[in-house]
Amino acid sequence: MPGLRQRTRTSIVAHVQTWRPYTTCYPALLGLAGAAWAGGAGPGELLTAVVAPALGWLSGHYLGDWMDRDLDAIGKPQRPIPSGRLSPGAALWSGIGCAVVSAVLAVGANWRILPLFLLAMAGIVGYSRVFKKRGLSGNVARGVLTALAVVIGAMVTRPFPPWSLLPVAAGFLLHDTSSNLVGTVRDVDGDRAGGYRSVPVRRGVRHAVRLALALYGCGLTLLASAAVGTPRDPAGYLAFLVLAAVIGAAAFVPLLRSGTQLGQRTALRGHEVLVAERLVLAAGVIAGALGPATAALAVVPVLLFSLVTQKLMRAGHEFPPALVRKEPVT
């Protein structure tokens, strides 16, 4: 029995690591933001808007790790699938299961979500199978998935999203394109070894960081432009955007200062800050729809959860143990 308990514990830990808990609150908050902006008030609608995108996000992690298992075996052998702690079959079926439940919830709330859900699933597959290998198109594919989470959250509460939500969704598309591009800077060595032609592999880390900053700035500009269509509190909305911009600056300044000497740990640290910053950005949308107090109640616990779980889990998931111990932060 001790052997069975150990195997069960190992399997549970492997699943949790695949979930990347520090990221899972983000799609939930995006769905809530979309629903709030669209006027959703019923607890059932809001719960669906939270859970459906989160399950779709988990599906993407499972399926992405299943499709990337050969690449991870090169650069990240400690991850659950290449390390043997999670079988490829378990990852595949877990991903399919999460996708099915997400679809049932979302499409059950509004059948018009179905084509968007299918587009999101195609984006998950296309990202790992096609676009990730080809540079910026892979980063954009990830940004599209984020925009879809916002729109689907809104459509849980009404037949179609309000026009005023479109610049919000577009802003998040550019923002997460930027964030994902920063992530490729962290992964440049593994991507190069695996034959992936990411932006930093092809053009260098300095170009990638500058492009990410430009995309980030354009994303914030689009989000700021949406203030004119804020359902309730444009001042609260803009206040959260300013706070997010300050946090974003804290992410990009060290990346820019490092130049061509940017190390993987510094890139990871910058991405960790952006993972926290985007929660504040999503809370800004909630503030615009429901008020700053409600937004703060929503974001503070998930922000703390993200920061703590990143501290405990992130480096070990992204880097082999030897690199975690040896590489200094530049």
Three-state SS across 97-153? HHHHHHHHHHHHHCHHHHHHHHHHHHHHHHHHHCHHHHCHHHHHHHHHHHHHHHHHH
Question: 211 is written with which tokens?
Answer: 């492009």
Whole-angstrom distance, CA of residue 140 vs CA of residue 325: 33
Q: What is the pLDDT of residue 76?
A: 87
Please give the C-alpha separations between residue 270 and each of 155, 263, 274, 314, in angstroms, as whole numbers.
33, 11, 6, 12
Task: Report the candidate in 208, 194, 187 with the shortest Cα–Cα distance to residue 255.
Answer: 208
Measured CA to CA, the distance from residue 290 to residue 318 in angstroms comes to 36
The tokens describing 282, both together, are 């999503």
User: pLDDT value at position 48?
Assistant: 96
| DSSP-H helix ranges across the chain | 2-19, 21-37, 43-67, 69-75, 88-109, 114-129, 136-155, 166-186, 188-193, 199-203, 205-225, 234-258, 264-290, 292-309, 315-318, 321-326
Contact 215, 181 (CB under 8 A): yes
Which residues, including other chains, have CB under 8 Å from residue 213's CB and lie 6 or more apart?
Answer: 178, 252, 256
* Amino acid (one-letter) located at 22: Y
pLDDT confidence of residue 119: 96
> Contact at 8 Å (CB) between 176 and 146?
yes
pLDDT, tens digit only, all 330 positions of the chain: 557 788 889 999 999 999 999 999 999 999 999 999 999 768 899 999 999 999 999 999 999 999 999 888 888 899 999 999 999 999 999 999 999 999 999 999 999 999 999 999 999 999 988 888 888 999 999 999 999 999 999 999 999 999 999 999 999 999 999 999 998 888 887 788 878 888 998 998 899 999 999 999 999 999 999 999 999 999 999 999 999 999 999 999 999 988 767 777 888 899 999 999 999 999 999 999 999 999 999 999 999 999 999 999 888 787 776 555 444 444
Please classify residue 159 by burial: count the beta carbons closer than 10 Å to its beta carbon, then call 0-12 exposed, 13-18 middle and 19+ buried: exposed
63 CB-contact burial (10 Å; exposed 0-12 / middle 13-18 / buried 19+): buried
Name the CA radius of gyration of the chain, rounded: 19
Note the pLDDT of residue 218: 98
Q: What is the pLDDT of residue 2?
A: 59
Q: Which of 132, 127, 130 is nearest to 148 (CA)?
A: 127
Placement of tokens 């997460």 in the chain: 176
